[in-house]
Structure 1
């Protein structure tokens, strides 16, 4: 309820002008200048965990039975439309029987992480793709969706939609910072 004389008041915003401590009823006005909190720059995080594949059952099924479709859509967005979804998916499909598709897709995970400043989590990109290819592809797909991309539309339609709504296509790059 009310702090006793023995208990110090510990409020993070206590020195701020106009701050109302809980259960006090009247605003507290301090004679001290307002304190400004500095915000540390936080590293962006993955929107979902690696093993949340079943959060989107249809994506999970498509990725398990035909990962080339999911990969193609991811690659088109990461590559900004060149090559297209179809050609990236075809290349993945041709590499799949050789077992090298996970190395190909791991390259795109690394590029996506660099583009959006995501951490290498839960472990190295190649290890993630080697051990759980479908989960990795689903996580990357969901991450791009969390940035507002509709992967079924492709790069050009997403870019056009962003221009119409005045949204930056690459959320990881602040405006004016491109060359």
Structure 2
């Protein structure tokens, strides 16, 4: 099981510890057994996985933005295209990603495609993987997940209707508007 250490490094031998150990089916490990240097167990503290920041809105708060909720229910490829353009930082267009999503919708694989973008969004903004893993969220609640991602980007100051380039133009001119705080929230 473990490579034996040379005799000069204090390896365990039955002769050195009072003769052979009777066979019992249970490994015999005397308290003073020495292992080769690479096999010494170290006490390392357990590090819990890093938990990101919470989402700005919940998964089931679709009615917080009723217009987006209706659009996403009837044509999720539009919402997905808008999300993908912002997440990709303008490298791909809203129309191209929305078209791919729409074509994948006929095969049933659109949720797997969109879960990739949820993961990418979470990585960009250090968001927690909640309420469960990204693919499961998109598989079980596709429209709710898209609405939540849309609202998250909107809360971060993006105007989802104008695309990446126009948003960057606004930021460069200093015309960004900080996200508004809901009526019931206080500092």
TM-score (norm 2): 0.65
1:112-171 deviations in Å (ceiling 9; x for gaps) = 00000000001000000000000000000000001000010100000111111187xxxx
Quote how far apart the aligned CAs of 1:45 are: 1.6
Compare CA radii of gyration and give the structure with the larger one: 2
Q: Give runs of aligned pairs for residues 14-25 of structure 1, distance below 5 A.
A: none
Matched, 1:71 2:80: yes
Aligned length: 126
CA distance in 1, matches of 2:144, 2:58: 9
Match of 1:133 in 2: 142
Quote how far apart the aligned CAs of 1:55 are: 1.2
Structure 1 gap segments, 5+ residues each: 1-41, 168-179
Q: Give runs of aligned pairs for residues 141-160 of structure 1, distance below 5 A.
A: 141-160=150-169
Match of 1:98 among 86, 107, 120: 107
TM-score (norm 1): 0.68
CA distance in 1, matches of 2:175, 2:71: 32
Match of 1:109 in 2: 118
Q: Which runs of structure 1 show a deviation greater than 3 angstroms over 4 or more consecutive aligned residues?
A: none
Quote how far apart the aligned CAs of 1:44 are: 2.3
RMSD after superposition: 1.3
1:43-76 deviations in Å (ceiling 9; x for gaps) = 4220000000011111111000000000000000
